[in-house]
């Protein structure tokens, strides 16, 4: 999946949007984490299209479940939020010796699931409880 997204160019009319400030604050993610998520958001539409067109309609849910499990393992192990984000990037395929295109695609996947509230806590949960 990441390799397929890396082969595509983001829409040049899609500026790197800022992730939810409330969610960043709720999860104590720093400005550098926000920058990585912002970069990923340029390709989020490519991730959406990948899932929409994939022959397995459950693929997105399966990846979300794997990321949620990894998120829980990391938080239970005591990783701080910024470390959790870094470890999730690695889990999704980030490799410092790989291409920037591939790593940008990894950021797109992480941003997609961050925005969908599949990973990290949703600030809305406080209002519901």
| All structural domains of the chain with their residue ranges | 2-7+24-121
**What percent of the chain is predicted at pLDDT more than 70?**
96
Give residue 125's pLDDT. 58
3-class secondary structure, 105: helix
Tens digit of pLDDT for each residue in 116-128?
A: 888 998 887 544 4
Q: What share of the chain is helix, strand, coil (3-state, %, to 5)?
A: 65, 0, 35
Give residue 96's pLDDT. 80
Quote the pTM value.
0.88
Q: CA 106, CA 113: separation in Å to the nearest integer?
A: 11
Residues 6+ apart with CB under 8 A from 118: 64, 67, 68
Tens digit of pLDDT for each residue in 11-62?
A: 777 777 778 899 999 999 999 999 999 999 999 999 999 999 999 999 999 9
Read off the pLDDT band of 129 (50, 70, 90): very low
């Amino acid at each position: 999946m990441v390799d397929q997204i890396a082969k595509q160019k983001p829409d040049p009319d899609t500026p790197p949007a800022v992730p939810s400030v409330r969610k960043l604050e709720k999860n104590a993610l720093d400005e550098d984490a926000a920058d990585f998520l912002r970069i990923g958001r340029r390709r989020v539409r490519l991730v959406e299209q990948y899932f929409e067109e994939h022959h397995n309609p459950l693929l997105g849910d399966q990846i979300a479940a794997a990321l949620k499990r990894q998120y829980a393992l990391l938080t239970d192990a005591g990783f701080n939020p910024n470390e959790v984000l870094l470890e999730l990037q690695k889990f999704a395929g980030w490799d410092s010796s790989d291409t920037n295109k591939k790593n940008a695609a990894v950021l797109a996947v992480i941003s997609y699931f961050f925005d969908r509230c599949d990973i990290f806590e949703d600030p809305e949960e406080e209002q519901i409880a």
